[in-house]
Every structure is written in C-alpha cells, then in structure tokens.
Structure 1
Amino acid sequence: MNILLLPELDNEQTSFSITDLSQIKHVQQVLELKAGDGLKVGSLNGELGTAVIEAVSDTQLKLGSLNLNTMPPSKLDLTVVLALPRPKVLRRLIMDMTAIGVAEIILVNSYRTDKSYWQSPILSRIDEFVTEGLQQGVDTIAPNIQLKKRFKPFVEDELSLWAKDRSLVVAHPYSPLSFNAYIEQAGLPQVLCIGAEGGWIDYEVGLLQDNGCQPVNIGSRILRTEAAVNALCGRYL
C-alpha cells in the first residue's frame, strides 16, 4: 500500500475519518505511523495528495490537513481480455493489472474455465482487489471491468468491431510469431487476449484469429497465467 485510497472527495475537503479496518491496520502495523505523521493519500476518481494523522485507534483513523493537488498517472492504452482464472488467482491478477495501469479488463468464459468459477463469491470482491491495486500503484482511477460469460458472442459481436481501429493479439505458445517480433513490426497492441491455466484451445484461438487477433508467443516456456499476464503487461511500462 503506497497510498491510502479514500472515497470520492471534494478537493476543498480538508479532513476525513477512516473506519476501514484493513487500512487502519496497515497504517498502524506496516507503516507504523502515529498522530502527527504525514502520509500519501488519493481520492477515488480524483487527485493524489497528502494528509496528516490527527488521531488513530484500532477502529478509526482521523486525517487532517488534507491536500489533494496531483493528477493520477495516465492509464495504459491497453485492454486485457482474460479467461476467468481460478478464484485464488483472480485476486492477484486484478491487483497486478490495476497497479500496472491497465485501462480495461474483460473477464470471459473459456473451455478451460470451470463453470463453478462464475459462482464464486470472489467475483463480488473485485472492487476490493481494485482498491488494493490502486493503493499499490499510486493511482485513483479504477479500470473498467466487465464479465462476459459467453465467449463466442463476445468475440463475434464485440471484439471483432475493435479490430477496425485497434490492434489485437492472443497469447498462444505455439504461434510462430513472437511478441517481440510483433512489437517490432506493429508496435504495442491495444488488446491482449490471455487464456487461463492450460491456455486457449485451438477452436478459441481460431475464433479470435478470425475476428482480428494475431496469435503471438512469449517464448519457449509454458507460463502460468500470473506470469504470462505480468510478462505481457510489463512491456507497456
């Protein structure tokens, strides 16, 4: 946590009280701050700045001298289409992509996405993971996140339209074209399609390719989803 993310505030507001226990615990136990200490803060969908701790207990953190005066970093020109992964992996991926600055995240169904993942209570906590990612990346603007349970209609009806004015790639370890070679030829793509554990099946790769996606590999090693996402998205930093 490199900033303390506050709700949407008026820039003229100079004080605020926090009751989120995880934030209070972080300030007390990790940052080891006390009354009179300053810290970095940000207002959701607003600006970054600083505040001073006026009082802190186990249940409340009172901030004063609130000064929001710095714009957050620009979002990357990047949409990640990600096959819904295992629930315990999803938290880390949402946090990482948010911290990196991905503008849009589309979670889609795939052949290797277990149906039970769509009923997981973890999906109701996505906003929580976004907040963690924003606090890590020193940002205040959340990515646009959408869930698409039907793969083929999404690809044919929505993703296909993006290909008219955006560049799209699909990560596929058996593509003869490397991601590095693609970038040298066409620059960084604006859309990355990344499979879950086990990757996309041939039908899915073919459908994505038929609708404007160029298959690319990221090397000879077969990576887990987390490693693939970070390896690909890291190229945009």
Structure 2
Amino acid sequence: MNCILLPAENIAHETAQINAVSQVRHVTQVLGAKVGESLKIGQIGGQLGMASIESITQDCIQLCDVQLTTAPPPKLELTVILALPRPKVLRRLIMDMTALGVRDIILINSYRTQKSYWQSPMLERLDEFVLEGLQQGVDTIAPSIYLKKRFKPFVEDELAHLVTNGAIVAHPYSTQSFAHYIKKRSLDSLSPAQPDLHMQSVYGLPSLVCIGAEGGWIDYEIALLAAQGCTPVHIGPRILRTEAAVNALLGQWLL
C-alpha cells in the first residue's frame, strides 16, 4: 500500500481512524509506523493527504491532524474490455488496471472463457481488489466495472456507443502492429482539418482496448469486434499471457 484509503465515515473534523484488519497490519507490521509519525491517506472517492498517528491498538489506529488537500490523479480516458480470465488471474488484473488509472472495465464472456469462471467467488470481491489497486496507485476514484455474460448481444448492441476515439482489439496474428496503428492515428490527428482533437488523439492512443483471456479471441470474435470499429493489432511476435499483454498495452498510456 502506497497510501491508506478510508471510507468517509472514518474521517471527521481533522481526525480519522483505521480499523480494517489488513490496513492496521500493514501500518504496524509492514511500515513499522509509530505514534507521532505521518501517514499518506485518502478518502475513498475524495481527496488525498497526510495525517499523524495519535494512538495504536491491536484493532484500531487513531489519526489526528488530517489534511486532505490533494486531488487524485486524473483517470485515463480509457475503457478496457477484458474477456473474463481465470479467477486467480482476475485479482491481479483488476488491481493492475485500477493502479494504472483505467476509467471503465468491462468483463465479458468469450469462447475461451470457461463457464465456471462466472460462478467464481472472486467476482464477489471486485471491490476489495479495486481498493488494493487504488492504494497501490495512490488514487481514490474507483473505476466503473461492468459484467457482460453474453458476447454477441453486447458487441452488436452496445459496443459501437463506447467507441468514441478509436478502438483496438489485441490479436497476436493481426497484420498491423500497435506501434503502426498509433503512428498512423497521430499523423491523421495532426491534419489541419481537425484542429481541436483531444491530446490523446495527437498521441494516437485509442479510447477503447479489447483484450482476450488465455488463448486469445477466436476468428469469429475478432470479426464481430472489427465490424464495430475495433482495429486488430499485435504488439510483437511473442505470445503473451493475459497479464503481460494488459500491462504491456496499457503502459503506453503512462508514457
């Protein structure tokens, strides 16, 4: 944890308390913080700041001199559509995408998504994984997460409305690289006929990314996504795990 995020009810009149077991343990055992020392904290959905430790017990840490004056970092203007991965991978992916600042996450069914994944108890813990990601990335604003269990109706009926500034679908067998896609869009966006584009357009980055689960998308899914404006791209000759592909692609937005 690079900051401790607290719900609004735990903060009042320049005082606050940490009573979540995992957070108390982190402060006392990992950080080794003592009474009188400062902590970086934030209010979930609010501001970031600092506070001093007033007292520590086994179950609660009392804070004083709470000053929440710093706005959280801006979200990436990005929607990630992710084929629901294996449950043990889901936690890490939600944490990573949250820490990176993704604005919207859509978990979708795919041909290679096993039906049992949708019954996983991990789906009931998404808020927990988001909190971990926010504390890692020093952010307070959670991404919006949507579950879409039917691939074709979602793609045909909803996807086109989400494609506001370009869209890609990661596909290792595409003939076009992500680098070429970005370069082409950058050149197009600098045209005198389009002077008022958002800076994201200038750098060629799309506003929507589709990433498959282990094994990727099948040809039918690629065709359906492409029909709705998603350009297939690859990121090199290597076949990557979903986690590696997510971080390799989304890292472009941080550069």
- Aligned partner letter, 2:167: L
Q: What is the DSSP-based 3-state SS (H/G/I as helix, E as strand, rest coil) of the residue aligned with 2:102?
A: coil
Is residue 182 of structure 1 aligned with residue 171 of structure 2?
no
Q: What is the DSSP-based 3-state SS (H/G/I as helix, E as strand, rest coil) of the residue aligned with 1:145?
A: strand
Query: How far 1:11 sits from its partner (Å)?
Result: 8.1
User: Deviation string for 1:141-200 (max 9, x for gaps)?
Assistant: 00011000011111011102233x331100000001000110111100110000000000
- Aligned partner letter, 1:179: F
- Aligned partner letter, 2:208: V
Pick one of 222, 225, 231 that aligns with 2:242.
225
Query: How far 1:19 sits from its partner (Å)?
Result: 1.4
Instruction: Report if aligned partners of 1:112, 1:198 keep a CA contact under 8 Å in 2.
Output: yes
User: Deviation string for 1:116-142 (max 9, x for gaps)?
Assistant: 110100001000000000000000000
Query: How far 1:13 sits from its partner (Å)?
Result: 2.8
**Distance across 1 between alignment mates of 2:226 and 2:251:** 23
**Distance across 2 between alignment mates of 1:57 and 1:197:** 45
- Aligned partner letter, 1:92: R
Instruction: Report if aligned partners of 2:83, 2:110 keep a CA contact under 8 Å in 1.
Output: yes
Tell me the equivalent position of 2:146.
146
Q: What residue ranges of structure 1 are gaps of 5+ in the alignment? A: none
**Distance across 2 between alignment mates of 1:172 and 1:99:** 24
Is residue 191 of structure 1 aligned with residue 173 of structure 2?
no
Instruction: Report if aligned partners of 1:11, 1:67 keep a CA contact under 8 Å in 2.
Output: no
- Aligned partner letter, 1:56: I
Query: How far 1:17 sits from its partner (Å)?
Result: 1.7
**Distance across 2 between alignment mates of 1:80 and 1:118:** 18
- Aligned partner letter, 2:179: N
Query: How far 1:34 sits from its partner (Å)?
Result: 1.1
Percent identity (aligned) = 63
Q: What residue ranges of structure 2 are gaps of 5+ in the alignment? A: 186-203
- Aligned partner letter, 2:80: V
**Distance across 1 between alignment mates of 2:162 and 2:131:** 28
Q: TM-score, normalised by structure 1?
A: 0.97
Runs of 4+ in 1 over 2 A off after TM superposition: 8-13
Q: TM-score, normalised by structure 2?
A: 0.90
